[in-house]
Amino acid sequence: MVKEAAVPSTQTSGAHSARPGLWSVGTLAVKCPKCKEMLVGRDWEKNLKVCPRCNYHFKLTAYERIDLLVDPNSFVELDADMISVDPLHFVTRSQSYMEELEEKRKSVGLNEAVVIGHATIDTLPLALAIMDFRFMGGSMGSVAGEKITRAIELGIEKHMPVLICTTSGGARMQEGMFSLMQLAKTSAALARLGEAKLPYFCLLTDPTTGGVTASFAMLGDIAIAEPGALICFAGPRVIEGFMHIKLPEGAVTSEFVLQHGMIDAIVHRRELRYTLTKLLHFYDGREHSTATMATTQTTNAPTHIEQDGR
């Protein structure tokens, strides 16, 4: 259930240079939630918002993530004005779903929990879908699912790889079955991407849970994660509340899922761009090799026909 905002609350697609960059927060000091160390804001930002003492990776906004990964000024945002409607007329004791959406748009500066578009990494083009946890916990409603699907379809149309960066609490309960349908829609779009023989890279960040984990987050040709990220379907509190047992330390982290073969690698934030660059060049070189082989076979085909006498 999607519509276009009559008066968009963000102007990022038309004024990309006006939005705040990765290092413009200006925080004086932050406290690491893991080791409780007090970090000087300037040093923390220079270290890509990673704690130098315990290696805790703080959350990044969607635009901070884009600035970190892609070539400068190469990102072009698409469909920034899409907003959700309220098909179920969902209301809690405190406010309606529409009021909550409007509140988040004003406080976060985004219309939805996903930013999509296309960019280049080391001059190689790719389609992007970057989730932002600040907008309702990165939950996937009908608009988030539609935007991710459009990013995948853009990759198919332009014949370029797709990168999705996940951070989400799962499907958005306020939209009921409409949010659950996004699991199937995004997975079907990725199946078409695979049929087109185009690579799909998934970067899992803290946290990636629920319906997002159960769909496109685990379907990447290459799945990488940041260190210490919470990656699971049901969170530890839900599991402990249902099973009445305490999970072992680190049972739902990126290190745990790597150990059990669910992802391909854990990559520190400072190495992400370099890793994605290598992957893009690998797939780009493989594609050129395949195209060269196909051209050679086509060129040599008449010779074989003459030799066979048919």
For 149-194, the pLDDT digits (tens) are 999 999 999 999 999 999 999 999 999 999 999 999 999 999 999 9
Q: How far apart are CA 183 and CA 27, in angstroms?
A: 37
Tell me the per-residue pLDDT of 97-149, one tens digit each, with 9 for 90 and over.
999 999 999 999 999 999 999 999 999 999 999 999 999 999 999 999 999 99
pLDDT at residue 13, as a whole number = 39
pLDDT at residue 246, as a whole number = 87
Q: How far apart are CA 46 and CA 77, in angstroms?
A: 26
What single string gives the DSSP state of each residue in 2-61? EEE-SS-S--TTT-GGGS--TT----SEEE-TTT--EEEHHHHHHTTTB-TTT--B----
pLDDT at residue 162, as a whole number = 98
3-state helix, strand, coil in the chain (%, to 5): 45, 20, 35
SS3 label, residue 156: helix
Least confident piece of the model among 34-48, 168-182, 240-254, 296-310: 296-310
Q: What's the predicted TM-score (pTM) here?
A: 0.86
Share of the chain above pLDDT 90, in %: 76
Give residues with Cβ within 8 angstroms of 62, minimum separation 6. Answer: 110, 114, 115, 130, 131, 132
Q: Is the pLDDT of residue 11 over 50?
A: no
Tell me the per-residue pLDDT of 266-310, one tens digit each, with 9 for 90 and over.
999 999 999 999 999 999 986 666 555 455 554 454 444 344 443
* Token reading at 305: 């026909």
Least confident piece of the model among 10-14, 207-211, 259-263, 269-273: 10-14
Q: What is the mean pLDDT of the chain?
A: 88
- 236-243 average pLDDT score: 88
Q: Is the pLDDT of residue 14 over 70?
A: no
| Residue of higher predicted confidence among 60 and 302 | 60
pLDDT at residue 15, as a whole number = 40
pLDDT at residue 248, as a whole number = 86
Q: Looking up tokens 């932050």, which residue turns up? A: 30
Start-to-end Cα distance in the chain? 59
